[in-house]
Amino acid sequence: MTESDEAMNHLLYFSKKLHAFGGKALYMNLFGMMLVGLLDGVGILLIAPLLSVIGIVNIPLASIPGLHYLAALQELPRARALFIILALYIMLVTVQGLVGRYLSLQEIKIHTGYVNQIRLEIYRSLLQANWGFFIRRRKTDLINSLTGELARVTNGAYLFLQLMTSAAFTAIQIGLAFFISAKMTLFVLCCGIAVALLSRRYIKQSRVIGTATMELAQSYLAGISDHFNGMKDIKSNLLESSRYRWLLDWSDKIAHERFENSRVRSNSQLFYKIFSAIMIAVFVFASVLLFQSQGGYLLLILVIFSRLWPRFTTIQANMEQIASCLPAFKVLMQLQQDCSAAKELMNGDELGGEHVAPLKIEQQLECRQVYFRYDKQQPDYTLEAINLRIPANGMTAIVGQSGAGKSTLIDLMMGLMKPELGHILIDGKVVSEDELFSLRKAISYVPQEPFLFHGTIKDNLLMIDPSASEEHMWEAMEFSSAAEFVRKLPLGLNTVIGDRGIRLSGGERQRLVLARAILRKPYILILDEATSALDSLNETKIQEAIERLKGFMTVIVIAHRLSTIRNADQVIVLENGKVVQSGSFLLLSEDKKGLFSRLLGNQLQVAL
């Protein structure tokens, strides 16, 4: 399949989506637009012949069939006949305006609904993709696809509809023009075809510029997002100048791209104007010297030209705009295909969440002979021969050096990743694909970097359980040692915490996220280095909160600070993707040859 065929398939795919969404309303709108075009053509083309009927202008009428039915106008006084003709014209224009207004509003309604449908469809596909899909993607590229590229695709699909409509309008007016003068209409048609063939290069250039626009939009969103996310580093390391130079360089590139885009469009418009001027000159020359046309008839032919030629240029302009949107069609189509390939539940179309019952754990969570690697083309495994058991309602710590595979193991336990070999079991039963969401419903996860959004404390807590009462919120905050600082805030639960919780300290944010996790009342609570960035006072408070949870739920802790897991019922040590030790804190610390003892000794030396 050629690149052009592929692009056309992408365009037709989204156009069919528009067809499926619009249904009868879409085609009624299209028919109405054709009617408006017919009224427009009839109204303007009939003025001169009608005026000739009553003798105001002199145009040969023999070649225009049907006008003999209007002979009765000749028997009326000229003023009354002129009034009737002009009233008829005003009525046609008014009807056309009213219908056009209604159709414009319908078009906005259909277009907006179509945009929302595609946006929701793509976002649903993203939500159904597995975690591995997001690891391999740049977040800002996904945002750009849901904003800029989505707008270009939906506009392109609608431009395609408008192109079809313009073609229909043109066909109507060609029919009317043939009705008046077949020879001159054929001349205009041949010129229009010639323009289409000669202007193909402008369409190709528009497509190339569309690709450049897409790439620049992606780089801008990625760069600006990185800058704002790292603003503290930028300020503290005096990187303002280098970041400004980056934006200055990008601005030069976008200015060049905009200039090239305008240059292509202005060149095509210049080409149309010059070609149309040449065509009019040939047109007049042929009419006067070859066809010996009279002045009135020549005027009528020029009216035909003035109505048909803008249709050809409109079609050509639409084709250029569609060509500039084709790269966005490819991006969105590829995104949907990638999401489909990475779909978590191949046999279902549901979204995880609200109506899923949690998977109960009464005895243990187990990994049995688990192997995993991110790239199956590589020989080495990230996790290899993992066999472990995590007892229910106890505290298990997972430790190891950076890159040992701790976070990957947690992702497997949560069902975010699937083992290449081996199984994850709950109470001795393999967790099936159908139970994937039930497993996650049973788990609350607290990451190292807490996820909070701009809103009140109450809003952030309700995100995990919209039906939770304030009593339950305070209970969860008591468990997480967050109640104390929340009570001191002037507005309490209604305090706005800022973007990513910036108005709270690191310890307060972490305790609030822990309260949100507890509010869900999970069977399993996973803390992924949740205290690594905290001072000793806040770390102690988090540890006290974890101690209170023991016996109520299964707690799994990933920790770098080994002093924080002294009270763990079990410690599992990973090295190079393998379990090298497991047992109690005291037992492992006494094994001087083991990795855990060396890690503990190194941290104690650093602390001293």
For the CA atoms of 248, 253, 258, 260, the dihedral, rounded to the nearest 10 degrees, stands at 150
Q: How far apart are CA 194 and CA 191, in angstroms?
A: 5
CATH architecture designation of domain 3-341: Up-down Bundle (1.20)
Helix or strand run (H / E) with residue 269: helix 240-285
* Structural domain spans, the chain: 3-341, 358-442+524-608, 451-521
pLDDT at 605 over 50: no
User: What per-residue confidence (pLDDT) applies to 607?
Assistant: 39
CA 396, 400, 405, 408 torsion-angle sign: positive
Contacts 24+ apart (CB under 8 A), 599-607: 599/399, 599/400, 599/401, 599/562, 599/573, 600/562, 603/561, 603/562, 603/563, 607/563
How many helices, marked H, and strands, marked E, lie in the chain? 19, 10
Q: Which residues contact 43 (CB under 8 A, 6 or more apart)?
A: 89, 92, 93, 96
Average pLDDT over every residue of 566-575: 88
Closest C-alpha to 445, from 477, 486, 416: 416
CA–CA dist 569, 138 (Å, integer): 39
| 37-41, 144-148, 284-288, 376-380, range with the lowest pLDDT | 37-41
As a whole number of angstroms, the distance between CA 148 and CA 492 comes to 39
Q: Look at residue 300 and tell me whether its pLDDT is greater than 80.
A: no
d(CA 59, CA 53): 9
> pLDDT, tens digit, for every residue of 131-173?
888 888 888 888 888 888 888 888 888 778 777 777 776 777 6
Give 71's pLDDT tier (boundaries 50, 70, 90).
Answer: low
Q: What is the pLDDT of residue 589?
A: 84
Give the rounded percent of residues in the chain with a pLDDT score beyond 90: 6
- pTM score, two decimals? 0.73
Print burial letters for 108-121: b (CB count within 10 Å at least 16), e (below 16): eebbeebbeebeee
Average pLDDT over residues 517-534: 79
Tokens found for residue 91 = 């009525």
pLDDT(274) > 60: yes
CA distance 414 to 166: 54
Do domains 3-341 and 451-521 share one topology? The answer is: no
Ranking 25-39, 124-138, 202-216, 406-420 by mean pLDDT, the lowest is 25-39
Is residue 568 predicted with pLDDT exceeding 90?
no
How far apart are alpha carbons 412 and 381 in whole angstroms? 14
At the topology level, CATH places domain 358-442+524-608 in Rossmann fold (3.40.50)
d(CA 115, CA 148): 12
Lowest average pLDDT, out of 26-30, 40-44, 130-134, 407-411, goes to: 40-44
CA distance 173 to 307: 8
Q: Domain 451-521 class? A: alpha beta
Q: Are 14 and 329 a contacting pair, CB within 8 Å? A: yes
Short-list 73, 148, 137, CA closest to 115: 148
Which strands, in side-by-side order, build the sheet including 554-558?
Answer: 443-446, 524-528, 554-558, 395-400, 570-575, 578-583
Residue with tokens 């199956």: 376
pLDDT tens-digit readout, 228-239: 776 766 766 667
What type of residue sits at position 215? Answer: E
More confident residue, 412 or 450: 412
Which amino acid would we find at residue 435?
A: E
Report which secondary-structure segment, H or E, holds 421: strand 421-426
What are the phi and psi torsion angles at 107 (to 5°)? -65, -45
